[in-house]
Structure 1
Amino acid sequence: MGLDDRDALVTLRTAIDPDELISDVYTRWFALDISVRDLFPPDLAHQRAAFAKALSWLLGEIIEQRAEEPVAFLAQLGRDHRKYGVTQLHYNGLQTALLGALAHHFSDRWDHALAGTARDVVELIVGVMRGAADAEKGPPYRDAEVIDHIRATRDVSIVRLQLDQPLFYHPGQYVTVEVPQWPRRWRFLTPSIPADRGGAIEFHIRSVTGGMVSTAIIGETRIGDRWRLSNPHGGLHVDRDGGDVLMVAGSSGLAPLRTLIMDLSRFAENPRVHLFFGGRYPCDLYDLNTLWQIASTNPWLSVTPVSEFSTNPPWAADFPVTDPPRGLHVRQSGLLPEVVTRYGSWSDRQILISGGSAMIAATKAALVAKGADPQRIQHDPVVD
């Protein structure tokens, strides 16, 4: 029955464990082709967890007989994996390793039905990824040089780069980035300015506790460093015909919303946009001057600064932030989800949320509890 055998699919899904099945997949794959090991970072824990999560979701979608999203996801995965140097030959080893690991895990019950379903699942995964990668003719990545690095706050850096070749992306999309301090360890970053024909690009990066890449970017990035950027992903957007907009940004989560606002400023008429920009301390609201400049000439934009604490800590003096001229809303104190929902449910708005995973989850939950339609709430994958 293959992909129609629900019982076999459910059985396969029970095996998806990053420390057992997925670890076995990588062991088998590297044994088949030692060159594959060089495509991955030394520590595979994060890679195994991501693989397990994706495979579990994929099987869940197949069980529910939903094909469109899994196929689109696998196609994007295949296109994106070109940036790692994955070739058509590598997919042969992946197919053998994944099927072999599944057979080993279920050796006590590996009957004809389970084997057939596993073979069809693996062929679907590898076939779609391989086909999408082969069909993609553009470059798998762009290289860029750091031309400026600004420590905006203790935890946030603004890094400006010049791309060797321009990269087109829609406002609000994100890319993955590889920096010289951590080869083969790609991190999600969102451009903070719209795509530039001349190749200029800018990122706002927040240091994540325990995050090796973000910490290295903030502490070690130097002018002249060479970065590598993937092709763009994501669908965060504003529908200019879809009604007024609520935006909620925590810290460097401002970047994609800032890009969308800058893009909207090209038009004479826009839906009303109300942006809540939050940080822990007032000094964390590092880009209020830019927001003030845009709002001062675009009456459709309103900005409410929000800080969890009303006063700055002593270390803030090392990263002074100039308060913008009058024109923005008075700064509010409190947690961002609580402040946003003080104003109501925002149920009549398109809602875009950007920031850390905990902030996104809390803000979304608070808005839905107030009556906002979850189908009108957008955010990128919750990955810190």
Structure 2
Amino acid sequence: MTLGPDETGEIRLDTPTEWTSTVVGHHRLRHDIAVIRLIGEHVPFSAGQSVEVQVPQHPGLRRRLSPALPPSLDGKLEFHVRTVPGGWCSGSIVADTRPGDQWSITAPAGWLSVDDWATDVVMIAGGTGLAPLRSLLLNLSHRPEPPRTHLFVGGRSPRDLYASDMLFLLAGELPWLTVVPVVESADDPGWADQWYESCRVDVGFDVNEMLEGTLADVVGDMGPLPDHQVLVCGSPAMTVATVDRLIQTGTPAEVIRYEGI
């Protein structure tokens, strides 16, 4: 018998605190990015939260990842994983994950969420910081009146926008969503990425539709956002720089929620 919180935060008996999920898909999108899909026990997290995962390649080691899908009763999970420089665990997840692998899921946590009262939302995603924001977007789509939402998604170059096709299609399906792609350089690196070449599609944003600069600069140039709820997720450095710039340009700190990954 175990103790755990229910949906109201109350502790009750017989609530599992660890869940098992099986890898059913491993899709390498870039040399350093993979999308992992799993199915298994229902994990009671909230859209926008992260969970701790333990993979068979590294028993005993847990890494915190953010699901890119809202919770589902049929136990579907999706994670976007990027190799962290010097991070042997993330590199192994990207390169070595195989269908049939059993993952252990624990410890849902985090405070990225969109309040019911919000009518205008700005989401700012750097790299795989997109994952929890995508989960929130799909969750918002079930509201009777979703808030007007601008998603700024950033990368080093156009090739770095690994979910460009998915976001392009999603923006076409959701009339309340505007996606703004942002790149630090309009030119891709001069070396070939075999994974990018193998999954290249003709759907996505044209380079002429992309704003050039860092996410912090592009969003900061918009001026203050006092009437918006603002969510920021990405690398710790990107998150700190973006939040600092937002506050410097007049956005109240109390409307900003952020998570470094």
Q: TM-score, structure 1 length as denominator?
A: 0.62
Task: Specify the alignment match of 1:315 in structure 2.
Answer: 192
1: CA distance, partners of 2:123 / 2:182:
13
Number of aligned positions between the proteins:
253
Q: What's the CA shift string for 1:343-384, capped at 9, x where partnerless? A: 22223210000111001000000000000111111013x3x4
In 2 relative to 1, CA 242–336 (structure 1 residues): closer, same or farther, beyond 3 Å? same
1: CA distance, partners of 2:60 / 2:79:
19
Q: Which one-letter code corresponds to 2:248 in the other structure?
A: A
Task: Specify the alignment match of 2:141 in structure 1.
Answer: 265
Equivalent of 2:241, from 359, 362, 369?
362
2: CA distance, partners of 1:273 / 1:334:
21
2: CA distance, partners of 1:162 / 1:231:
18
Q: Which one-letter code corresponds to 1:357 in the other structure?
A: P
Q: Which one-letter code corresponds to 1:156 in the other structure?
A: I
| Matches for 1:305-344 after TM superposition, within 5 Å | 305-313=181-189, 314-316=191-193, 318-320=195-197, 321-322=200-201, 324=203, 330-344=209-223
Task: Give 1 or 2 for the bigger CA radius of gyration.
Answer: 1
Task: Specify the alignment match of 2:117 in structure 1.
Answer: 241
Measure how far apart 1:212 and its partner are.
Answer: 2.0
Measure how far apart 1:265 and its partner are.
Answer: 1.3
> CA contact under 8 A between 1:240 and 1:270: conserved in structure 2?
no
1: CA distance, partners of 2:13 / 2:112:
23
Measure how far apart 1:317 and its partner are.
Answer: 5.2
2: CA distance, partners of 1:143 / 1:329:
44
Q: Percent identical across equivalent pairs?
A: 37
Structure having greater relative contact order (Cα 8 Å, sep ≥ 6):
2
Task: Specify the alignment match of 1:144 in structure 2.
Answer: 21
Equivalent of 2:33, from 156, 167, 188?
156
Q: TM-score, structure 2 length as denominator?
A: 0.89
Equivalent of 1:283, from 159, 180, 183?
159
Matched, 1:256 2:132: yes
Matched, 1:173 2:49: yes
Measure how far apart 1:79 and its partner are.
Answer: 5.8
Matched, 1:353 2:229: no
2: CA distance, partners of 1:140 / 1:168:
9
> CA contact under 8 A between 1:147 and 1:160: conserved in structure 2?
yes
> CA contact under 8 A between 1:296 and 1:327: conserved in structure 2?
no
Matched, 1:296 2:175: no
1: CA distance, partners of 2:4 / 2:60:
17
Measure how far apart 1:247 and its partner are.
Answer: 0.4
> CA contact under 8 A between 2:124 and 2:232: conserved in structure 1?
yes
Measure how far apart 1:246 and its partner are.
Answer: 0.6
2: CA distance, partners of 1:231 / 1:283:
33
Question: Secondary structure, in 3 states, of the residue corresponding to 1:158?
Answer: strand
2: CA distance, partners of 1:325 / 1:204:
18
In 2 relative to 1, CA 326–212 (structure 1 residues): closer, same or farther, beyond 3 Å? closer
RMSD: 2.4
| Matches for 1:1-384 after TM superposition, within 5 Å | 137-163=14-40, 165-313=41-189, 314-316=191-193, 318-320=195-197, 321-322=200-201, 324=203, 330-380=209-259, 382=260, 384=261
2: CA distance, partners of 1:325 / 1:280:
17
